[in-house]
Amino acid sequence: MSRGKNGKCLIRGCYGCFTFVFLPLVSLIAVIYFINMRTITVKVPPYPHIPVNGYSDFVQAGRMTEEMKHLNPSDMPSAPPYTLSQYALAYQDARPALALMKSALHKPCLGPSERSLNFNWSHFALLRNLARVVSDSAEYEFRIGHPYKAAQLNLDGMEMAALTAHGGAPLNYLVSEAIDAIDRWGMEKNLPLLTADQLAVVVKRWGAIERQWPGLQDIVLEEGNVATSQNIQIVEGQRKEFLKHPSSFFSSYYIGRIFGRSIPWNEYIEYLFQDKNKIIRDNQEFYRRLAIEMQSSNRPPVITGRPHNLLMTKRGAPMCDFIWKDYLYNTAYHELLKTEAAIYLFKKRAGHYPQSLQALVPRYLSSVPEDPFNQGKPLIYHSGLGGKKFLLYSIGPDQVDNGGQPMKRPGWPDKGDMVAGYLRD
Residue 327 is assigned to a structural domain of this protein:
no
Same domain, 362 and 286: no
- Distance, in Å, from the CA atom of 270 to the CA atom of 313, rounded to the nearest integer, reads 13
- Verify that 314 and 398 share a domain, yes or no: no
In a domain, residue 176? The reply is no
* Minimum mean pLDDT range among 272-276, 348-352, 409-413: 409-413
Asked if residue 303 and residue 363 are part of one domain, the reply reads no
- Total domains in the chain come to 2
Q: What is the pLDDT of residue 6?
A: 54
Residue 365: Cβ within 10 Å count: 22
Are the C-beta atoms of 196 and 349 separated by less than 8 Å?
yes
The closest of 258, 253, 262 to 234, measured between CA atoms, is 258
**Is residue 190 in some structural domain?**
no
Dist. CA 386–CA 15, nearest whole Å: 101
Reported as half-sphere exposure (CB side, CA atoms, 13 A), residue 308 has a value of 2
Is 374 part of any domain?
yes
- Residue 228 in any domain: the answer is yes
- Cα-based distances in Å from 401 to 219, 379, 404, 405, 418: 29, 11, 7, 9, 10
* CA angle (381 as vertex; 380, 387 as ends), nearest 5: 175
Q: Which domain holds residue 246?
A: 219-318
Neighbours of 424 (CB within 10 A): 12
Candidate from 39-48, 172-181, 231-240, 411-420 with smallest mean pLDDT: 411-420
Look at residue 34 in the predicted model and tell me its pLDDT.
80
| pLDDT of res. 200 | 96
β-bridge mates for residue 392, sequence order: 381
Average pLDDT over residues 124-133: 96
In the predicted model, what is the mean pLDDT of residues 248-271?
Answer: 69
pLDDT band at 1 (very low <50, low <70, confident <90, very high): very low
Question: Residue 311 has what pLDDT?
Answer: 85
Q: Does the pLDDT of residue 297 top 80, yes or no?
A: no
Most confident of 177-181, 255-259, 298-302: 177-181
